[in-house]
C-alpha cells in the first residue's frame, strides 16, 4: 500500500497554486448529464474522485476529451443508460449526484448507494424527500436507489430541507432544472460549490436564482445547451495549505483563491497568531513563530467548515494553551485522526461533540493511518510540523481530494515522498 514519508521541521516558503474545487467538480461533472451538447469544463482538479466520475460517465455513454491539463470536454448527448456501474459508484460519495442528474434528464435511474469517506453515518433522506416532492417514486434498498416518475410525471415544487444539506441542495437543483414549473429549495445550503453549480447550470441555459441564500428558485427550462465553464478554486485545499504554514511555520503565497470564501478560516488562523494578507485572488500567510489557543465550532458556510476541522486541530495541538474544537456537522469526525495525532504527542480529550486540545510545543514523527480525506490532510500537516519522520498510510483517501500534493509541498521546501510498496 502506498504511503507518504515526511521529514518534518522545514518551514514552508514560496508559492502554491490552488486547484479547482473538488466538491464543485464532483457536482458539475454529473450535472453535465443534463446538457445536450459539449461542455468545456476548465480548472477541473486531477484527483481520483474526478477520474472515477469520468469513468462512470463514459460507462453511461458520454464522450470525454482532455484537450489539456485540467480541462475536460464532456458530451453527454448520446447517453441512454440510466444505471451507472455500481462498482464505480460505490467508490465515492458524490456519486449520489447521478441520482438528481439522471432523474432530471431521463425521469428515472437506478443508482447504487455511494461509498467514499465513512467518518459518520451519512443519510440521504433529504435528497429522497426532494425527489419525492418533485413527483418521483422511490425504491430504496440497502444496495441501491431506484427513481421513476410517478403517474403525474415530474414537476417543480417547494422543498423545505430539514437541514441545509449540501448534497440534497445540489441534487434537487439538478433534478429540477429541466422540469416544468418552478422549484423552491428552502433552507438550502449556501456553500461556494452550491453557487458554482448554479452558475454552471445557468451558463448552460438553466434559470436558477438565489444560490448562496437560504432559498433557491429554479424555473424549469426545456433544454440545456453546451458551453464553457471554469470551476472555482478549492476553499478547503487553500485552507489546508494555510493551516500547514500556520502549524509548520514559513511564509507562503497561496494563489488562485477567492479570499471571501476563506474569511472564516483566515480569521481563526489570525486569532491563532498567523499573519494573513488578502490580495484579489491570492492570500499570503506568514507564521509569526507563536501559536495561541482558540475556540472553533464547525458550521455550514459561511461558518468554519467541518472539512477544516482536522487541519485546525493540528494547529491547536501546537498552540500555547487549551483550545476547544466543537463539531456540529459530523459528530464522529474526530475519530478519524485524533488517536493518530495523540501517537505523535498531541493531547486531545474528546467529550461528545467537543475536543479539548492542550497545546504542546512540538509533535514527534510516527507511523499514522489516514481514515478519511481531511484526516489524512491533517496527518500530513502534523508530519510537516513534527520532529523526525512521519509515515502516513492509507493515502488513497488523501489522493481523492488533493491534486499534486507531493509536488506542491516539495516546491514549498517540504521533505515528503510517496512510497509504493
Ligand atoms: N444529512 C442528513 N440527511 C441527508 C443529508 C445530510 O441527515 O439527506 C446530514 C448529514 O448527516 C450531516 C449534515 O446533514 O450531518 C450535512 O450533510 P451534507 O449533506 O451537507 O453533506 P454532504 O453533501 O454529504 C458535503 C461535502 C463534504 C462536506 C459536507 C459538509 C461533497 C461531495 N461533500 O457532503 O465534503 O463535509 O458537505 O460541508 O460536497 C470532504 O470534502 O472531505 C467532504 C466530506
360 vs 220: CA distance, rounded Å: 56
pLDDT tens digits, one per residue of 2-51: 999 999 999 999 999 999 999 999 999 999 999 999 999 999 999 999 99
Name the residue of 28, 138, 159, 165 whose CB sits within 8 Å of the most ligand 1 atoms, as the mutation to test its pocket.
165
> Are 20 and 44 spatial neighbours (Cβ–Cβ below 8 Å)?
yes
- As given in the structure block, the three cell numbers for residue 170 are 445540489
Please state, in angstroms and rounded to a whole number, the distance separating the CA atoms of residues 154 and 103.
Answer: 9
- CA distance to 89, 143, 233, 347, 377, per residue, from 406 (Å): 27, 36, 19, 28, 12
Helix count and strand count (H, E) for the chain? 14, 23
What is the predicted pLDDT for the residue at 80?
85
**Å from CA of 410 to ligand 1 middle:** 31
Work out the end-to-end distance of the chain between its first and last CA atoms, rounded to an integer number of angstroms: 6
**Where does the pLDDT of residue 132 fall: very low under 50, low under 70, confident under 90, or very high at 90 and above?**
very high
* Residue 366 backbone phi and psi in degrees, to 5: -160, 175
d(CA 209, CA 303): 22
What was the pLDDT predicted at 116?
A: 60
Give residue 250's Cα distance to chain centre.
26
pLDDT for 118 beyond 80:
no
**Strand ranges of the sheet holding 295-297, from the earlier edge strand across to the other edge:** 295-297, 322-326, 354-358, 347-351
Residue with the bigger pLDDT between 274 and 93: it is 274
The pTM for the full model equals 0.97
Helix (H, G, I), strand (E, B) or coil at 332: helix
Mean pLDDT of the chain: 96
The average pLDDT across 243-259 equals 98
Mean pLDDT value across residues 390-415: 96
- Measured in Å, residue 176 CA sits from the centre of ligand 1 at 20
Higher pLDDT, residue 415 or 335: 415
The proportion of the chain whose per-residue pLDDT surpasses 70, expressed as a percent, equals: 99
Taking the centre of ligand 1 as the mean of its atom positions, its distance from the CA of residue 166, in whole angstroms, is 6
Grid cell locating 27: 457536482
What is the Å distance from ligand 1's center to 121 Cα?
Answer: 10
Instruction: Identify the pLDDT of residue 115.
Output: 72
Q: Which ligand 1 atom sits nearest the alpha carbon of residue 124?
A: 8
Tell the residue nearest (CA) to atom 37 of ligand 1: 166
Q: Whose CA is nearest to atom 6 of ligand 1?
A: 165
DSSP state for residue 308 in the 8-state scheme? G
Q: At 98, is the pLDDT very low, low, confident or very high (cuts 50, 70, 90)?
A: very high
Q: Which residue has cell 469526525? A: 333
Active-site residue 68, yes or no? no
Instruction: Give the nearest ligand 1 atom to 374 CA.
Output: 42
Select which of 76, 117, 264, 313 is catalytic. Answer: 117
Instruction: Describe the chain by its helix, strand, coil percentages, rounded to 5.
Output: 35, 30, 35
Each residue's pLDDT tens digit, 298-334: 999 999 999 999 999 999 999 999 999 999 999 889 9
Nearest CA, atom 43, ligand 1: 307
Please identify which residue in the block is written with the cell numbers 478519511: 372
CA distance 233 to 253: 15
Amino acid at each position: 500500500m502506498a504511503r507518504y514519508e515526511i521529514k518534518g521541521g522545514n518551514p514552508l516558503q514560496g508559492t502554491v497554486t490552488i486547484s479547482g474545487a473538488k466538491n464543485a467538480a464532483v457536482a458539475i461533472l454529473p450535472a453535465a448529464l443534463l446538457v445536450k451538447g459539449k461542455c468545456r469544463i476548465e480548472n477541473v482538479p486531477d484527483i481520483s474522485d474526478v477520474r472515477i466520475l469520468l469513468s462512470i460517465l463514459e460507462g453511461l455513454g458520454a464522450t470525454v476529451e482532455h484537450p489539456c491539463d485540467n480541462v475536460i470536454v464532456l458530451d453527454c448527448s448520446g447517453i441512454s443508460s440510466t444505471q451507472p456501474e455500481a462498482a464505480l459508484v460505490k467508490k465515492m460519495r458524490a456519486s449520489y449526484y447521478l441520482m438528481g442528474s439522471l432523474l432530471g434528464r431521463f425521469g428515472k435511474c437506478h443508482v447504487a448507494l455511494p461509498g467514499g469517506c465513512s467518518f459518520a453515518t451519512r443519510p440521504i433522506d433529504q435528497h429522497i424527500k426532494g425527489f419525492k416532492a418533485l413527483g418521483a417514486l422511490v425504491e430504496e434498498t440497502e444496495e441501491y436507489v431506484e427513481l421513476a416518475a410517478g403517474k403525474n410525471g415530474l414537476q417543480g415544487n417547494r422543498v423545505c430541507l430539514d437541514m441545509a444539506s449540501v448534497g440534497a441542495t445540489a441534487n434537487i437543483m439538478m433534478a429540477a432544472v429541466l422540469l416544468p414549473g418552478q422549484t423552491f429549495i428552502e433552507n438550502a445550503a449556501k456553500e461556494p460549490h452550491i453557487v458554482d453549480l448554479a452558475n454552471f447550470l445557468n451558463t448552460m441555459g438553466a434559470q436558477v436564482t438565489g444560490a448562496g441564500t437560504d432559498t433557491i428558485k429554479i424555473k424549469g427550462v426545456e433544454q440545456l445547451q453546451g458551453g464553457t465553464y471554469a470551476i472555482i478554486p478549492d476553499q478547503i485545499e487553500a485552507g489546508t495549505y494555510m493551516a500547514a504554514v500556520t502549524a509548520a511555520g514559513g511564509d507562503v503565497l497561496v494563489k488562485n483563491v477567492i479570499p471571501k470564501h476563506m474569511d472564516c478560516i483566515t480569521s481563526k488562523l489570525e486569532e491563532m497568531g498567523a499573519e494573513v494578507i488578502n490580495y484579489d485572488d491570492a492570500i499570503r500567510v506568514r507564521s509569526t513563530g507563536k501559536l495561541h489557543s482558540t475556540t472553533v465550532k464547525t458550521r455550514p458556510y459561511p461558518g468554519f467548515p467541518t472539512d477544516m476541522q482536522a487541519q485546525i486541530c493540528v494547529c491547536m495541538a501546537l498552540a500555547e494553551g487549551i483550545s476547544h474544537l466543537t463539531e456540529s456537522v459530523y459528530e464522529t469526525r474526530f475519530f478519524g485522526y485524533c488517536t493518530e495525532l495523540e501517537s505523535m504527542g498531541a493531547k486531545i480529550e474528546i467529550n461528545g461533540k467537543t475536543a479539548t486540545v492542550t497545546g504542546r510545543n512540538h509533535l514527534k514523527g510516527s507511523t499514522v493511518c489516514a481514515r478519511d480525506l481531511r484526516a489524512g490532510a491533517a496527518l500530513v500537516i502534523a508530519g510537516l510540523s513534527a520532529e523526525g519522520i512521519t509515515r502516513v498510510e492509507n493515502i488513497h483517501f488523501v489522493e481523492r481530494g488533493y491534486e499534486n500534493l507531493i509536488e506542491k509541498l516539495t516546491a514549498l521546501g517540504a521533505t515528503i515522498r510517496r512510497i509504493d510498496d
